[in-house]
């Protein structure tokens, strides 16, 4: 009787070992990033510096000794940002091919006065006019933009050049509260240039999840996030990787190299610029599998296109150069011929990615953090 009980115990114990080993084997390999933030000249630690992955909610602050720690990061590439008031913000692309603890030290340089900028800080009619334009261009014109606000516009330093360019920079992060999606966004605006209806801006972006006041608001934010995802760049890239562009409402065409074109110039027929005149001559339809290649790591995918891509979102009517394709239209150019993304559509290495048209009009009111997931 005792032998039978002992055998059962040993069997159960062995099964437990196998189950635990299997569970460990299924856990994804991760990286823990640790290090210290110090003053470049003095070597003194900088306490409570912001350390975060650009365009994400993943971040932390250094402790009173300048030490920081970011656990559970995916193996692969990421852009880490370190900022501290009065110091120049540092952005560094890091790549980890093996899991484990990685040490990265940051030495920050004290900030300098903004150069080449006409500072307009006082409240006056001219500044208020410019501020309205900057707010409109940063937040966008969607229904969600009405639920967004810039909390601290006083940090903007605005320039009004004689050539018609409207520029701006920030002396510390611009804070945008998005009550449509539930984000508080901290934006270091390194550059803002608005000219003839075209906007260029750049900087580091940190997303902070806001706390909903109740369950109803939490559900509303989640619903709005799913709506913002539809037709977004993240949605497009995820569909490419899954080879499900058409199923998700996207039609993608790739420009044919000049040397392979049947005719060097496409002429409109009776003034009608039909897309059918361009297909198999200037452009050709492509599936996701044609554009996606595996990366060096399981967490990476390469989006590859040596020529410009034209993208239509058939779930959304919009301006298009083709009357017979009256859908939201976007042009995407990869200057290096490729970019690196995750299977979930997180662009980790844009390689100069340039977007114009519908997707280029997405602003902070519709912007999801890079680590947002449909499966949450």
pLDDT above 50 (res 282): yes
Max mean pLDDT among 23-37, 81-95, 262-276 falls in: 81-95
Average pLDDT over residues 202-222: 97
Q: What is the pLDDT of residue 146?
A: 94
Q: What is the pTM of this model?
A: 0.86
CA distances, 55 to each of 78, 253, 318, 346 (Å) = 10, 28, 27, 10
Cβ atoms of residues 304 and 338 within 8 Å: yes
Q: What is the pLDDT of residue 264?
A: 58
Q: What is the pLDDT of residue 13?
A: 43
| DSSP SS3 for 144 | helix
Average pLDDT over residues 284-291: 97
Average pLDDT over residues 175-185: 98
pLDDT above 90 (res 72): yes
Higher pLDDT, 280 or 243: 243
Measured in degrees and rounded to the nearest 5, phi and psi for residue 7 equal: -60, -45
**pLDDT > 90 fraction of the chain, expressed in percent and rounded:** 75
First to last CA, the chain: 50
pLDDT above 70 (res 302): yes
Beta strands 30-39; 106-108: pairing state: parallel
Lowest mean pLDDT, pick from 93-107, 123-137, 172-186, 338-352: 123-137
Cβ atoms of residues 330 and 359 within 8 Å: yes
pLDDT-based confidence at 161, cuts 50/70/90? confident
Q: Give the integer Cα–Cα distance in Å for 14 and 188.
A: 55
Q: What is the pLDDT of residue 263?
A: 65
Q: What is the pLDDT of residue 30?
A: 92
Q: Give the integer Cα–Cα distance in Å for 325 and 276.
A: 10
Q: What is the pLDDT of residue 359?
A: 93
Q: Write the pLDDT tens digit of every residue in 88-126.
A: 999 999 999 999 999 999 999 997 555 555 555 556 888
């Amino acid at each position: 009787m005792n032998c039978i009980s002992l055998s059962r115990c040993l069997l159960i114990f062995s099964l437990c070992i196998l189950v635990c080993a299997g569970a460990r084997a299924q856990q994804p390999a991760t990286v823990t990033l640790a290090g210290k933030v110090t003053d470049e000249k003095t070597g003194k630690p900088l306490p409570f510096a912001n350390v975060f992955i650009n365009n994400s909610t993943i971040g932390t602050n250094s402790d009173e000794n300048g030490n920081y720690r970011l656990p559970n990061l995916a193996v692969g590439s990421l852009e880490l940002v370190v900022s501290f008031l009065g110091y120049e913000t540092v952005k560094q692309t890091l790549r980890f091919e093996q899991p484990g603890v990685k040490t990265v030290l940051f030495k920050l340089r004290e900030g300098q006065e903004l150069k080449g900028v006409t500072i307009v800080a006082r409240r006056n009619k001219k500044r208020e006019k410019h501020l309205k334009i900057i707010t409109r261009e940063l937040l966008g014109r969607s229904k969600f933009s009405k639920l967004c606000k810039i909390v601290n516009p006083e940090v903007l330093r605005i320039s009004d050049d004689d050539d018609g360019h409207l520029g701006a920079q920030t002396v510390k992060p611009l804070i945008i509260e998005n009550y449509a999606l539930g984000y508080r966004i901290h934006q270091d605006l390194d550059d803002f240039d608005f000219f003839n209806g075209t906007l260029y801006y750049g900087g580091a972006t940190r997303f902070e999840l806001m706390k909903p006041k109740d369950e109803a608001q939490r559900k509303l934010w989640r619903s709005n996030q799913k709506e913002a995802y539809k037709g977004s760049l993240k949605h497009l890239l995820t569909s490419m990787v899954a080879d499900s562009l058409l199923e998700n409402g996207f039609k993608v065409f790739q420009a044919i190299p000049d040397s392979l074109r049947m005719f060097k110039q496409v002429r409109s027929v009776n003034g009608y610029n039909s897309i059918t005149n361009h297909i198999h001559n200037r452009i050709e339809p492509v599936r996701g599998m044609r554009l996606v290649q595996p990366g060096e790591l399981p967490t990476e995918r390469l989006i590859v296109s040596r020529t410009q891509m034209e993208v239509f979102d058939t779930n959304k009517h919009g301006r298009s150069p083709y009357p017979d394709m009256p859908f939201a239209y976007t042009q995407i150019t990869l200057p290096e011929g490729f970019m690196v993304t995750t299977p979930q559509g997180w662009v980790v290495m844009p390689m100069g990615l340039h977007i114009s048209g519908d997707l280029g009009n997405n602003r902070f009111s519709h912007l999801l953090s890079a680590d947002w997931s449909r499966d949450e």
